[in-house]
Amino acid sequence: MHIVEIPSFFPPYGGEFCLEQSKALRTLGHEVRIISNVQLSARRNLWEYISLPYHRRFTEIQDVPLYQSYMRGLPMMIRPNVNRWVEIVREMFRAYVKKYGRPDILHAHCAKWAGYAAMLISEEEKIPYVVTEHLSSMAFREEFGDDPEHTWQVPLLRKVYEHADRVIPVSEEVVDDLSPFFGKDYRWTAISNMIDVTFFSYRQREGREGRPFRFVCLGNFINRKGYDILFEAFRMVHEQHPQTELYIAGEGTDGSACRRMFNGLSCAPYIHPCGNLDQQAVRDLLYQSDALVLATRDETQGLVLLEAMSTGIPVVTTEAVPQNVRIDKGCYVAPVDDAEAIAGLMTKVMELPSAWGEDVSKKVAERVSPQVIASQLEAVMKECVSSYSNKEA
């Protein structure tokens, strides 16, 4: 198949899911390219806003062909920015077709706004489109509020879902989670995001004799990651088990707001903020840790949990994570916002032997390796292309 991937977000603002899926689909022999239009924000990073290329260009990223554009967003002009973003993607698609020909299918990542652009292109060019949805209702609620029917965005995005040849939520729970915004009147097949199980490979941890037990949390310092609950849970654990440490990594974890949250606790000297880390540093930190804990309040998937289990350590998290992350004997789940329950599970995983986790690592690979997920995506796309061709005939 000839597949065009259209991400809503891409470097320097995310987009790893789109890139990894593109690479995996290419290994199956498909012709895959990415059309990326990134809306830059002067408030977020003025240097990037000024210095990144002003012209569209055909290039590559990690051996995947990329048609790239950077759009300068206008502050406080949401609707004009959206309209302009979508129109640029449509223009880029027309230029893409002149260079590479018509694709068999469009694969958008997130309905907002790649899915909307894909829908318009599909209507104009008579090409099927699918939408992988990575966002949760909390993300939409933060932007649209609790009354979605009175926003201009939600009716457009609802149409994206309803017209898609397939919506691909990253977990089954996403469908119910998003139903207050978009209903359920659309065709969907849940397919997990993938992790690089070769990179996050199993490694037996060193013996614990004579050293602290090391917990790690990977997540940006935002309310929905539950750092307030995590710090309280660690305080409880540390009171009973002084030979414990907590390493935290993610954007904002080394900032003053995060430090203020735990500085007054008796366990504060044993909490080690690491800040934002690249993939290599994340893996190194996992290899140095004995268990991961994530007190999340909202999670469409939680790939850090799968990455941790793939390296061979157990994870403690909350009922906010979907079932496809809950690997048997590897994932221990507590109620949301229950520090005492999380502390109890943290104590429980401390009793597991250090030579633990190889079987769990294999289970992760069987569920979310690039080969497994690419094959699932391939099957859905082939079905959609076939159905669309029959419909058009």
- Per-residue pLDDT of 159-189, as tens digits, reads 999 999 999 999 999 999 999 999 999 999 9
- pLDDT for 162 equals 97
* Percentage above 90 pLDDT, the chain: 86
> Average per-residue pLDDT in the chain?
94
- pLDDT for 267 equals 96
**Quick check: 65 pLDDT over 70?**
yes
- pLDDT for 393 equals 57
CA 298 to chain centre: 12
CA distance 153 to 143: 10
CA 175 to chain centre: 16
Residues 197-208 have pLDDT tens digits of 999 999 998 888
Q: Taking each helix axis from N to C terminus, what angle separates 153-163 and 137-144, rounded to the nearest 10 degrees?
A: 150
- pLDDT for 138 equals 84
CA 184 to chain centre: 22
Identify which of 108, 187, 180, 168 has the alpha carbon closest to the alpha carbon of residue 140. 180
Residues 75-101 have pLDDT tens digits of 889 999 999 999 999 999 999 999 999
Burial class for 347, CB neighbours closer than 10 Å (0-12, 13-18, 19+): middle
**DSSP one-letter string for 213-240:** EEEEEES-SSGGGTHHHHHHHHHHHHHH
Identify which of 313, 331, 314 has the alpha carbon closest to the alpha carbon of residue 322. 331
DSSP 112: I
Query: Across residues 34-41, what is the average pLDDT?
Result: 96
Query: Across residues 13-24, what is the average pLDDT?
Result: 92
* Percentage above 70 pLDDT, the chain: 99
Residues 307-350 have pLDDT tens digits of 999 999 999 999 999 999 999 999 999 999 999 999 999 999 99
Q: Which range has the worst mean pLDDT, 144-153, 249-258, 270-279?
A: 144-153
- pLDDT for 193 equals 92
CA distance 329 to 169: 25
**Quick check: 209 pLDDT over 90?**
no
Q: Is the peptide bond before 12 cis (omega within 30 degrees of 0)?
A: yes
Residues 212-228 have pLDDT tens digits of 999 999 999 999 999 99
Higher pLDDT, 140 or 89: 89
**Quick check: 58 pLDDT over 70?**
yes
* Residues in CB range of 122: below 8 A, 6 or more apart: 106, 128, 129, 163
DSSP 1: -
**Quick check: 290 pLDDT over 70?**
yes
- pLDDT for 210 equals 86
Cα dihedral 375, 381, 383, 385 in deg (nearest 10) = -150
Report residue 356: phi and psi, to 5°.
-120, 150
- pLDDT for 392 equals 67
**Quick check: 146 pLDDT over 90?**
no
